[in-house]
Amino acid sequence: MDIPIATADAFADFVRRTRIERGLTQEELAKRAGRSRKWVTGVERQEIMPTLPAAINVVKALGYALVLEPFLEEDSDIIATILGDQ
């Protein structure tokens, strides 16, 4: 399943929502991603913007792969709707 993430807010929501769906505590996710619980909390609250390597590690720790695709301007309305930006 593809999950489009086009904003920092959407990434933070993805991390929190997916962690909860997987039944993981912040501490468990932090251990899997090689980070601290405080770091995970900061990401979920948008207080910390992870580097690309850190984002890849947390995404992998949640059981996903980070895939980059071209962003087409005509898709922006669809993506905004999916992400709840409209």
- The whole-number mean pLDDT for each consecutive block of 10 residues of the chain, a chain of 86 residues, reads 80 96 98 97 95 94 87 58 48
What is the pLDDT at residue 76? 57
Q: Is there a domain that residue 47 lies in?
A: yes
The CATH number that applies at residue 21 is 1.10.260.40
What's the rounded Cα separation, in Å, for the pair 75 and 50?
26
Residue 86, pLDDT score: 39
Query: With contact defined as beta carbons under 8 Å apart, do 54 and 35 qualify?
Result: yes
Which two tokens mark 14? 């993805």
Domain annotation covers residue 43: yes
Q: Which domain holds residue 24?
A: 8-83
Q: Is residue 1 part of a domain?
A: no
Q: What's the rounded Cα separation, in Å, for the pair 14 and 20?
A: 10
Please state at what angle helix 8-21 crosses helix 26-33, rounded to 10 degrees: 110
pLDDT, residue 36, reads 97
Indicate the number of domains in the chain: 1
In a domain, 3, yes or no: no
